[in-house]
Amino acid sequence: MSFSRKSLGIPYAVFLLIFVAAPLIVLVFYAFTNGQGQFTMHNLSSFFSDPNTLGTLFYSFAIACVTTAVCLLLAYPVAYILAMSTIPAKSVVLMLFVLPMWINFSLRITALKEILNVLEGNLAMHPFLNAVIGMTYDFLPFMILPLFTTISKLDGALREAAMDLGADSLRTFLQITLPLSVPGIISGVSMVFLPAMTNYVVLDMLYNSTYIMGSLIGSYFAAYNWHGGSMISLILLALICLFTLLTGGGEEETARGGALL
Amino acid sequence: MENKDTIIELRSITKEFEDGFKAVDDFNLEVKRGEFVTFLGPSGCGKTTTLRMIAGLDVPTSGDILLNGKSLIGLPPYKRPINTVFQRYALFPHMNVYQNIAFGLRQKKVPKDVIDRKVTRVLDLVDLEGFEERGIHTLSGGQQQRIAIARALVNEPEILLLDEPLGALDLKMRKEMQLELKNMHDRLGITFIYVTHDQEEALTMSDKIVVMNEGKTQQIGTPEDIYNEPQNAFVADFIGESNIFNGVMTGHLRARFCGGEFACVDDYEEGTHITAVVRPEDVEITAPEKGTIVGTVDSVIFKGMHYEITVVSGRNEMVIQTVHNANVGDRVGMRVDPENIHVMLAEDHTNQFYADINKDFRLEFNGHHLDTSLTKIIRGSRRLEDGRIVDSSGETIEPSRIRILVSIQPDDIDMTDDQDKGLIQGTISNLIYKGDHYSYVIHTELEQDFVVNDEYLWNMDDRVSLMMPVDKMKFSLRRK
């Protein structure tokens, strides 16, 4: 038998089958069946009729929105200044922002918890604020990197052309740099927004008793309610797909940013 | 008083970068309203930097730029009535053709209907009617070029700057655009300042050419002046093809170079060192006995319109362009009409030669080791642990891709009888008494002439060795 290039793809196909396709089929199967294995829409309807689950969805959405916005507002100036600067140690400074990611996640959050404890006294008093602070701390590099990559790649001649044509620095930024860095913004947002909806470990570790989508799924599974948990996962998946479809593109930037980590 | 016709004047403009590199050195220029001026020179000669200083994108270290008699220094680019066509167009990729062209007018808050009218008119001017809604990426290189020109012209600038605008186009497209640009210039009456390294482009389009090298102006003049009366060897070499010889005046309107004595029309005092320039198309091939000099045909290349024939005569080479064929190995005579020999004063007698780079990145000349290395010569370069040498921007320097030009003044070379003491040996082929010293021309074993000043008298045909101290040498980097 001759060795063809196609056979190189076999391991990948097997991987996809076992770790992507199969779980997805199981997920869909569980989401639309009950304990007896019969088809049902009950899981779907109960999610949208239960004020608690809906409330959690909106609460998660709010946390994710605020976290993303804060990350964007913090990351853009950092990425912009770094990308525009001519300092030779640029990559070192960038590394300083990425460095926390190399420290164990639980250690980081525990340290943050101690700091917040000192500042706030009782952590339970500000669950929403703490969730946003924790997640911003955790996800900020994911916003900085794609933005930095996108802004660095912008052709400096475009800014010069804008200035040459009569635009001052502010107008040049608003009309040239900002619109052209949108792909970076999109990939940064998609890398922060979706984890922020589900990453309940951050909340747990900050002694936060509020529920986000991730905690909700976890609680269903913890109670052996595979069917309800699967349905919520599926709804999240649908939301993610919708979001990706709406924003389109940005994947290239994500990949590049990811490579830096 | 300010000359009314002068639109822009550059006064002793100097640009020195942070690392001490002088990109532009004491640049002076006056441009008349409506002129087509071209900055011409090899890459790195400072022509683009000069253009950027006019645009306001770079700030001169010293000197003044006057537009209509008023200084532009301190005025940001967006406040100057000057627009630029950038080298790679720099069109805004997120905007369509209309938005790109309208960009400048929108900054000035021009009413929408006026913008519409002007965009239509300028698109008409660059022959791209109806392209308003097209995306930038759907356009060919030539079309993008036209849009870039339209985007600048629509603002009706007092001066249009063009930074190698045709560099990215193929040859045929380039010729077309050259003509179109020239036509546009004639029709609009706007002053054009054009940057190129292509001498043919400069000669075709310009009213006035500024030849630059290493940050300095070499010559300013009309294309005819520059071509026919180059002021120095660099200009002669850069503009068109030239045979350039070092020589000496041997009498009234007589010069000796290339192993022969030629009649010429430029008069200098007898004994003056000169540089003689002969264009390849001005050399006439004759029968051996009728030529001023005689040589052997070394190579013949067919170039379509003519043959390019290289003739070796003694230690010199003459390149000739002629419609008549010749055979390699033929013995031929060569003569040049006196008015076709351009004789100029050898502006200085700096001796120049290329040093070799050995595998240890050290410099050698004629088999002798020079006590210096690449890292000392190239600003900001350093040697990495893996043995490579990188420049200040971190790019690897490939020793096989560069040459090191060594310059040394005649006063800094010493002559000795001891043949082994110097870097190179030769015989004295010329000597002139200059009042307090003698100026010698030494013809070396590498077929190269060195000029040496010495207070002692040596004789013609004396065999000497030349001692050149490394600390008196100046090095410059040349790409192969």
Q: Is the residue at B235 inside a domain?
A: no
Domain shared by B74 and B134, yes or no: yes
CA distance B197 to B195: 7
pLDDT given at position A260 = 40
| Domain assignments of chain A as residue spans, ordered by start | 49-212+249-260
List the single range of A1-15, A99-113, B59-73, B129-143 with lowest mean pLDDT: A1-15
pLDDT value of residue A241: 84
B47 lies in the same domain as B144: yes
pLDDT above 90 covers a percentage of chain A that reads 35
- Note whether B326 and B309 are within 8 A (CB): yes
Q: How far, in Å, CA of A166 to CA of B261, rounded?
A: 61
Q: What's the pLDDT score for residue B480?
A: 57
pLDDT over 50 at B91, yes or no: yes
Q: Which of A79-88, B52-61, B277-286 is least confident? A: A79-88
Starting at the edge strand found earlier in the chain, the sheet holding B36-40 runs B82-85, B159-163, B191-196, B36-40, B208-213, B216-221
Q: Are residues B252 and B182 in the same domain?
A: no
**In chain A, what residues touch B90 (CB-CB under 8 Å)?**
155, 157-158, 160-161
Residue B420 domain-assigned (yes or no): yes
Residues B341 and B391 in one domain: no
Q: What is the pLDDT of residue B347?
A: 64
| B34 touches A: beta carbon within 8 Å | no
Kindly report the CATH class assigned to A49-212+249-260.
mainly alpha
Is the pLDDT at B303 greater than 80, yes or no?
Answer: yes
Which of B170, B193, B228 is where one domain is finished?
A: B228
pLDDT one-digit tens code per residue, A58-87 = 888 899 999 999 999 999 999 999 998 887
Per-residue pLDDT at A258? 39
Instruction: Tell me, yes or no, whether B94 lies in a domain.
Output: yes
Kindly state whether residues B108 and B20 are assigned to the same domain: yes
Domain membership flag for residue B1: no
The three-state (H, E, C) secondary structure of B54-78, written as one string: HHCCCCCCEEEEEECCEECCCCCHH
Select from B84, B88, B91 the Cβ nearest to the Cβ of A164.
B84
Question: In the prediction, which pLDDT does B459 show?
Answer: 86
Check pLDDT > 80 for residue A3.
no
The number of distinct structural domains making up chain B is 3
A224 to chain B, closest Cα gap in Å:
51
Q: Write the secondary structure of chain A as one string of H (helix), E (strand) and C (coil).
A: CCCCHHHHHHHHHHHHHHHHHHHHHHHHHHHCECCCCCECCHHHHHHHHCHHHHHHHHHHHHHHHHHHHHHHHHHHHHHHHHHHCCCCCHHHHHHHHHHHHHCCHHHHHHHHHHHHHHHHCCHHHCHHHHHHHHHHHHHHHHHHHHHHHHHHHCCHHHHHHHHHCCCCHHHHHHHHHHHHCHHHHHHHHHHHHHHHHHCHHHHHHCCCCCCCHHHHHHHHHHCCCHHHHHHHHHHHHHHHHHHHHHHCCCHHHHHHHHHHC
The residue with greater pLDDT, B477 or B255, is B255
Q: Which of A159, A165, A186 to mutate to test the interface with B (most CBs of B within 10 A)?
A: A165
Residue B12 — φ and ψ, nearest 5°? 35, 50
The model's pLDDT over B5-41, given as tens digits with 9 standing for 90+, comes to: 899 999 999 999 888 788 999 999 999 999 999 999 9
Same structural domain, B192 and B134: yes
**A120-124: long-range contacts at Cβ-Cβ below 8 A with a sequence spacing of 24 or more?**
A123/A206, A123/A207, A123/A208, A124/A207, A124/A208, A124/A209
Tens of pLDDT, residue by residue over A121-171, are: 777 778 888 889 999 998 999 999 999 999 999 999 999 999 999 999 999
Residue carrying structure tokens 């080791």: B369
Distances (CA, A) of A250 to A223, A239, A240: 38, 17, 14
Instruction: Give contacts of A 138-157 with B, CB under 8 A.
Output: 155, 157
Q: Say what percent of chain A tops pLDDT 70.
A: 93
Instruction: Categorize the per-residue pLDDT at A254 as very low, low, confident or very high, splitting at 50, 70 and 90.
Output: very low
Please give the full DSSP string across B158-208, using - where no structure is assigned: SEEEEESTTTTS-HHHHHHHHHHHHHHHHHH--EEEEEES-HHHHHHH-SE
Give how far Cα A85 sits from Cα of A9, A91, A151, B97, B412, Å.
Answer: 43, 11, 11, 31, 45
| Chain A residue with Cα closest to B78 | A166
* B71/B176 same-domain check: yes
pLDDT at position A250, please? 42
What average pLDDT does the segment B118-140 reach?
92
ipTM of the complex: 0.76
Q: What CATH number is given to the structural domain containing B337?
A: 2.40.50.140
Average model confidence (pLDDT) for chain A? Answer: 85
Report the C-alpha gap between B275 and B347 in whole angstroms: 8
Q: Last residue of a domain, which of B322, B345, B368?
A: B345
Mean pLDDT is lowest, of A102-111, A225-234, B441-450, for B441-450
Residues B369 and B335 in one domain: no
Nearest CA in chain A to B156: A165
Residues of chain B in contact with residue A161, where contact means CB-CB under 8 angstroms, are 84, 86, 90-92
In terms of residue numbers, what domain contains B291? 242-345
Nearest CA to B243 out of B167, B308, B155, B150 is that of: B308
pLDDT at B67 over 90: yes
Instruction: Please report whether residue B237 resides in a domain.
Output: no
**Chosen domain end from B199, B228, B257:** B228
Residues B336 and B317 placed together within one structural domain of the fold: yes
What CATH number did the domain enclosing B12 receive?
3.40.50.300
CB contact under 8 A, A161 and B92: yes
* pLDDT attached to residue A255: 41
Is the CB of residue B108 less than 8 Å away from at least one CB of chain A?
yes
Q: Does B140 touch chain A (CB under 8 A)?
A: no
The reply to whether B280 and B213 lie within a common domain is: no
Summary mean pLDDT of chain B: 87
Q: What is the pLDDT of residue B233?
A: 79
- On the CB side of A240, CA atoms within 13 Å amount to 16
pLDDT over 50 (residue B255):
yes
CA distance B13 to B6: 17
Taking residues A222-230, report their average pLDDT.
Answer: 89
Same structural domain for residues B412 and B323?
no
Average pLDDT of the segment spanning B301-324? 88
At A249 the pLDDT is 47
Q: What is the pLDDT of residue B315?
A: 67
> B170 or B400: whose pLDDT is higher?
B170
Do B370 and B451 reside in the same domain of the chain? yes
Does the structure show a pLDDT above 90 at B211?
yes
Residue that is written with structure tokens 């180059």 in the block: B230
Range with the largest mean pLDDT of B135-144, B267-276, B393-402, B412-421: B135-144
Contact by Cβ (8 Å): A153, A87: no
In a domain, B112, yes or no: yes
